[in-house]
Amino acid sequence: MKRLTTMLSVILISQLVYAQTNFTEDLNANNINTTVCSNGATFKNFKKTSLPGNDAILNTLKTSGIWITGLDQAGNIVGNIQIENENGNADFETNPEFQGIWKVSSEDVAQHLEDFNDNGVIDNTNTPLFDWPSHNNSTGYDYWIDDHSIERPFNYQPSLGDYPFPGIRGCSEPSPFGDFVWSAFQDNNNHTESDLGNTRIRVSQSVFTIECGDSEMLQNTVFVKYHFVNGAIQRLNNVRIGIYNDFEIGCSGDDYIGCIPERGIQYAYNANSTDCDGGFENNPPVHVFQVVKSPLAIKTIAENGELINPPPGESGDTVVQAVVDIFLPLDHVEENIVAPSNKNDYYNLMNGMRPDGTIIGNNGILFSGDPTNPNEVSERSENTSSGKRRTITAFEPLGFINPGVVNEFIVAHTIIGGGDMTVDETLQLLRTNTEVEDNINSCFYNNCMVTINTNVSNARIAGLKVFPNPVSETIFVEHNRAIESAQLYNLIGNRIPVNLNGNSINIEGVANGSYFLELISNGERHLEKIVVIN
């Protein structure tokens, strides 16, 4: 009996250690390089690789993680605080059912579809698509399986042409992703980062980039979708969910923060036109964190028709998009904000209060003015002491979350400016450019993605010739009229950047595979399938 007990203890300990493992995957897509973590501490070392010289290896974000606070049915404070896994500390664990982190690219998907479309059989099964995690049953784990190409949620079958993609709520088609990294984590362990009680919330995390050659802003952006469910047997009340960001604009000793509440934006920028020692050699960029899709919140309709948060334990009348209403630093001398040290501090901060319960700023919002305008409230106009900046950006209370209820939200991290663009020019661009939210609100259809009619015989211009095919570097077009535009699309509709020069098209750097070339001449459309072989 003693031996059996010892064996069981060893097994339980090994399972605990296994579940606590943090798996990582490098994401190097478009102009962004970062490391993605599997246990809710989403990013480590986020940088823009297109900046000149040594600036390309400097971070604008050290780490980012998800925070949750709420009350259980007895009124006890519960929650999860995920920072950076320092000394192995974490409130979330990588889900034991999905021990790992998985990555797929649009090139993998395009080659997979090409393989399937030629004869309805997948010849190459040694691809990331066949390693993608799934549960082929109805055991309740369908929410772990991120959206894929057909409505078969319990039965992902890559051998039949299925492929994973980061689905976006409200969008009927797959997003035109570039790289897609997926992992799952949960709260079912001893909290080593905070003293908060367990929530039992389970989350799947989809980190992805968008292929959109025409958009410099999207080239510098990474999206994260957090898809979560209450895995407890009791209801959670007054739930707030937020994202912790540890900004690091090169040398972090002279950083400032700001926010644009109406757009769900929290950002960090350099307090001066030049960075401190060891920082950016050129103009420092700005790191922008933005909520682009909110979770759903439960509201009560008051007698005057106003939507209000239902009291803890009470049901609501309607469901709305949650508003981001907390934009706060974790440490700030002038605002008398100290870093949380216990569950009450975490709960208060997530509700816009200091440890003593006093309201911070404008009901939990600080520095929402334009830093380039001295008449608006910002860290510049307040002449605060610049330095290390860590923030929490959180949604209003989601109301209560019953067991098994699923919700989700999407955020974006964008690095803008740097190089030749001054800090002020970048801050002004941030205020005027809405490209990131506009694209995701339109499901990327307007600028980054098209529906390809594969019946090319219906889209040909008489007398127009495209050669050679297959092609390696340059496509030549023979036609008696000028070619006005040329676009290249892969098999899932993502636009691939190419250079049109007269009647020749440079495709150097395009990966091997099949593509659709769209040509416009005299207002007419020509669509031709080409094969790239390098």
Task: Walk along the chain (534 residues) and give the pLDDT tens digit of each residue.
Answer: 333 344 434 434 444 444 568 999 999 999 999 999 999 999 999 999 999 999 999 999 999 999 999 999 899 999 999 999 888 899 999 988 889 999 999 889 888 988 988 888 999 999 999 988 875 433 333 333 444 333 334 467 788 888 888 888 888 777 788 999 999 999 988 999 999 999 999 999 999 999 886 789 999 999 999 999 888 888 898 899 999 999 999 999 999 999 999 999 999 999 999 999 999 999 999 999 999 999 988 888 887 878 777 776 667 778 889 999 999 999 999 999 999 999 999 999 999 999 999 999 999 999 999 999 999 999 999 999 999 999 999 999 998 788 888 899 999 999 999 999 999 999 999 999 999 999 999 888 766 766 555 444 456 788 889 999 889 889 999 988 888 888 888 877 777 878 888 889 999 888 888 888 988 888 888 888 888 887
With a CB cutoff of 8 Å and minimum separation 6, the contacts of 36 are: 24, 25, 26, 27, 42, 43, 101, 181, 183, 207
Reported as type and span, the H/E element at residue 6 is helix 2-20
Host H or E run for residue 300:
strand 296-301
Token pair recorded at residue 146: 């991120």
* CATH numeric code, 456-532: 2.60.40
Residue among 30, 33, 26 nearest 55 (CA):
33
Q: How many residues does the chain have?
A: 534
**Cα 17 to the chain's mean position, in Å?**
28
Predicted local distance difference test score (pLDDT) of residue 446:
64
Q: What one-letter code names the amino acid at 383?
A: N
Could you count the other beta carbons within 10 Å of the beta carbon of residue 459? 17
DSSP secondary structure string for all residues of 221-273: EEEEEEEEEE-SSS-BEEEEEEEEEEE--SSGGGEEEEEEGGGTEEEEEESSS
Instruction: Please give the structure tokens belonging to residue 367.
Output: 């520095």
Q: How far apart are CA 34 and CA 76, in angstroms?
A: 37
Residue 522, phi-psi category: left (phi > 0), alpha (psi -120 to 50), beta (remainder): left
Please give the model's pTM, rounded to 2 decimal places. 0.85
Residue 29 corresponds to which tokens in the numbers above?
């897509």
* Beta-bridge mates of residue 321: 296
Quick one: pLDDT at residue 199? 95
Is there a contact between 166 and 223 (Cβ–Cβ < 8 Å)? yes
Question: What is the distance between the alpha carbons of residues 291 and 336, in angstroms, rounded to a whole number?
Answer: 27
Domains 2-294+385-441 and 456-532 share a fold: no
Q: Tell me how many degrees the CA angle 86-87-88 measures, rounded to the nearest 5.
A: 85
Tell me the H-state helices in 383-505: 423-432, 435-441
Q: What is the pLDDT of residue 16?
A: 45
Predicted confidence at residue 309, as pLDDT, reads 75
Read off the tokens for 1. Answer: 């009996």
Q: What is the pLDDT of residue 158?
A: 86
Q: Is 355 in contact with 345 (CB distance < 8 Å)?
A: yes
Residue 312 and residue 237 in contact, taking contact as beta carbons nearer than 8 Å: yes
Res 312: pLDDT: 63
Q: CATH class for domain 2-294+385-441?
A: mainly beta
> What b-and-e string marks burial along 504-530, b requiring 16 or more CB atoms within 10 Å of the CB?
ebebeebeebbbbbbbebeeeebbbeb
CA atoms of 331 and 347, how far apart (whole Å): 16
Chain mean position to CA 19 = 24
In the chain, where the domains are located:
2-294+385-441, 456-532
Which pLDDT value is given to residue 138? 35
Q: CA–CA separation, 248 vs 263, rounded Å?
A: 22
Residues 6+ apart with CB under 8 A from 231: 186, 188, 200, 201, 202, 403, 404
What pLDDT is stored for residue 303 in this prediction?
78
Other residues' Cβ atoms within 10 Å of the Cβ of residue 309: 16
